[in-house]
Structure 1
Amino acid sequence: MPKKFIEVKEVSLKNNCPVCYSNEHLRVTFYQKLHESKLYKWLTSEVKNEMTCVNCESTIYPVQWTDDIERVYEYHLKAFQPSKSSFRLKGLGLIVIFFVAIVLAGIGFTFFYSKL
């Protein structure tokens, strides 16, 4: 079952990069976890994020954050609204459930009429 994170929102920060010290090149990207199989799609409420510098193309880890970056990050984290968690059956999943329901109904009728 492939699990992947889909991009939900990207925010530009106007802070200096702690690696290359360039201004206004930081980006915070928020991702939400998606489980997908042949039977269903499930968007969970699990969220992760990543901060990168566009100028030097490096990932900025929380250890490297300054107080200013942390304050701006916390603001955007509070403002971020992830997509609602959802579960959707695909066509094959609907067919499987339909056939299982028919089999269970058949077993139920057979059991009920065998008692009479």
Structure 2
Amino acid sequence: MKTTYKTIHTAALQCNCPECYSNSGLELSFKQEWKDTFWSKKATDVVREELVCKHCDFPIYPVSWTEDIERLYEYHNKLAKKETYKRLKAQTYIIVAAALVILFSLLYIFVAN
């Protein structure tokens, strides 16, 4: 099973970085987990958030967030559109159709005799 994360929302924050105190480098992004199996591909409920300062290239963890950053996080968390998606792949339909054909042909053989 292959797991990937797709970015669903990104925002540049105009707050001071808790590490380097730059006012123009914070970027908040939300990433949703997608599971890809042999049978289907679906978006899960798991959403990761990442806050990175582009000025000092340092990830900012929630422990060091200020009240301004938390307020903006809550706002952008509401804006992030979490997808609900599940799709069966073509090989799933082919295998199910082949199984049904075999089942009906065996039923026809046994009923005809």
Number of aligned residue pairs? 113
Matched, 1:20 2:14: no
Counterpart in the other structure of 2:9: 9
- Return closer, same or farther for 1:108/1:58 CA change in 2, 3 Å cut-off: farther
Distance 1:38 1:56 in 2: 41
Counterpart in the other structure of 1:88: 87
1:8 counterpart letter in structure 2: I
Q: Deviations over 1:59-113 (max 9, x none)?
A: 1100010111111111111222212x111122222211211222333344456x2
Asked whether the 8 Å contact 2:42–2:87 carries over to 1, the reply is: yes
Deviation of residue 58 (structure 1)? 0.9
Distance 2:86 2:106 in 1: 29
Could you say what the CA RMSD is over the residues aligned between the two structures, in angstroms? 1.9
Q: TM-score, normalised by structure 1?
A: 0.85
What is the DSSP-based 3-state SS (H/G/I as helix, E as strand, rest coil) of the residue aligned with 1:103? helix
Distance 1:62 1:94 in 2: 44
Q: Where do 5+ consecutive residues of structure 2 fail to align?
A: none
Counterpart in the other structure of 1:68: 68
Q: Where do 5+ consecutive residues of structure 1 fail to align?
A: none
Deviation of residue 2 (structure 1)? 0.7
Counterpart in the other structure of 1:99: 98
Distance 1:87 1:51 in 2: 28
Q: TM-score, normalised by structure 2?
A: 0.86
